[in-house]
Amino acid sequence: MSKSICVFCGARMGNNPAFEQAARDLGNVLAKYTWRLVYGAGDIGLMGAVANGAQASGAATFGVMPEHLMQTEVGKRDLDRFIITDDMHSRKKLMFINSDAVVLLPGGAGSLDEFFEVLTWAQLGLHSRPIIVANIEVAWIVLTVPNAKLKPAWIVVPLELREPEAITVLAGTITLTPGTVSADLSDQGHSLLVHVLHTEDPDAVRDDITNRYQRRLKEIFS
């Protein structure tokens, strides 16, 4: 019997063109192995990309969408099977019970909610389905940038944080983000040394760490 793969992903394209291509490629791969796509039934963003990729290559499709998102996420009604639910929880449950494995592509809070729910079910022993988290950006670098053209960099990130706990969380967050590793803390605790796998603009990476992570942690620990 053919397998069904549940894909959690965003209703937007994200900030990297590689995300859309990866979603379409995943749809193509599902068709190649005659696997069915199970997803959130949207016709926009990465949801639309993975569905269009699957349909273009001949894969079967199964979509589930709560009624209140029909306009926002543009319900894709040309799927092989299209189900409308009353709420988000029913959507997640139907997607999960109709699949044999779960893949997480880039997305927002909704995708993370879906991911953590199925992860929690696994930790509770309710299922043993494979859960795959796709790191598109690093995979894209590995697959498309020759070793000779990689531009690794050491970046010094000035610290606005002073609490040891906050600095520890920041360093851990950087290391858990694929492609970056926290390597050292200055003796005075005023900066972090970070290694980046590949970047065209080290200053932009430094600023992104400060704006996305450090300033939010500063608000939390202030």
pLDDT digits (tens, 9 = 90+) for 12-33: 998 788 889 889 999 999 999 9
Confidence at residue 221, expressed as pLDDT on a 0 to 100 scale: 87
Note the pLDDT tens digit of each residue in 35-85.
Answer: 999 999 999 999 999 999 999 999 999 999 999 999 999 999 999 999 999
Residue 136 pLDDT > 80: no
In contact, 214 and 166? CB cutoff 8 Å: no
Tell me the mean pLDDT in the region 187-213: 93
- In degrees and rounded to multiples of 5, residue 181 shows phi and psi of -140, 130
Tell me the mean pLDDT in the region 79-107: 94
Question: pLDDT grade, residue 2 (50/70/90)?
Answer: confident
DSSP 179: T
Residue 143 pLDDT > 70: no
How many residues are present in the chain?
222
Q: Looking at this protein, which amino acid is placed at residue 206?
A: R
Nearest to 104 by CA among 93, 115, 91, 95: 115
In contact, 207 and 160? CB cutoff 8 Å: no
Give the global pTM: 0.68
In sequence order, what DSSP letters do the residues of 97-116 get, joined into one string? HT-SEEEE-S--HHHHHHHH
Looking at per-residue pLDDT, the higher value among 112 and 176 belongs to 112
Task: Tell the residue number behind the tokens 């070793």, with chain if given.
Answer: 147
Domains and CATH numbers, the chain: 4-138 (3.40.50.450), 147-221 (3.30.1370)
Confidence at residue 79, expressed as pLDDT on a 0 to 100 scale: 97
In contact, 145 and 47? CB cutoff 8 Å: no
C-alpha span between 18 and 82 (Å, rounded): 28
Cα 197 from chain centroid (whole Å): 19
Note the pLDDT tens digit of each residue in 147-182.
Answer: 899 999 999 999 999 999 999 999 988 887 778 999
